[in-house]
Amino acid sequence: MRTGWLTHPAMLDHNTGPGHPERAERIRAIIEAVHQAGLMNPLVPIEVPPARDEDILAVHTREYLQRLEAACRRGDRYIDVPDSAICVDSYRAAQLAVGAALSACDAVLAGQVDNAFCAIRPPGHHCEADRSMGFCLLNNVAIAARYLQRRHGLQRVLILDWDVHHGNGTQHIFERDPTVFYCSLHEHPAYRYPGTGYAWERGEGPGAGTTLNLPMPPNSGDADYQQALEARFLPEARRFAPDFILLLAGFDSHRDDPLATQAVTQAGFDWMGWQLKQLAQQVCAGRLVSLLEGGYNLDVLRTCVVSHLRILMQDP
């Protein structure tokens, strides 16, 4: 299969400062590992332009976008919360992270590639429509979902988020929308930031039933994640029958990640990746774009992303 590869060197210029876990070395480690594994040649490189304001504004308020751009231009140390560190180059990096997601969707729908992986930063799933949270400046996956609907006319988009933290921003953006199904597997809200994502949060109004939270107790491992996907996510995903699948591939639920207390291994991520790829083949002609989200152990990122890419590249 042809797998698209999207990243941009300017994303490394997003300087979060000494000791911040979301750092440029994350992308450098992934790129180095992909080269060492000999995967660059079979991957299909796709150009990454910055996202246009009109596409970002389909999700974020104009006031927030202007405030973010101004804060970066001034060289502020952070936006909204100290976790969301910024510098003068952060706004362009955020535009490029979104741009990679949108270009990946374009390439899959044009038949240029079968699926794609975006090695991007800053991450996005905590970002609300009108404010930053938890390292996230723009909600990459939410903007991509709206782009698929507005620019390409798709009706139903599914987002699976296996980052160890609940994607509060993504849930809140779509919780009243029956056309976007959002499922999050994350460490139980009582133990982990941002404290949202309880199982009873299933969407609101017309969107009731198209939010699925699968909170995992501390030290949950491969078998626990497998059971949650097989018993809950996969049946509901098949019933939803999406036209396109977006994956938030956070590798911070790995047993060696410093920011959580989960026990998933590379084998567990591989199993989930295969299940999602097979689901895409069954329900939406294989249309799948994977976006890097969290993951803060560089060795874990090296091995898990390379293995994830190999899964995307293999024939079903």
Measured distance CA(270)–CA(287) in Å, rounded: 18
User: Backbone dihedral region of 195: left (phi > 0), alpha (psi from -120 to 50 degrees) or beta?
Assistant: left
Q: How many CA atoms are closer than 13 Å to the CA of 97, on its beta-carbon side?
A: 30
Measured distance CA(33)–CA(26) in Å, rounded: 11
Give the gyration radius of the chain's Cα atoms. 18
- Amino acid letter, 280: A
Catalytic residue set: 126
Residue 250 buriedness (CB in 10 A; 0-12 / 13-18 / 19+): buried
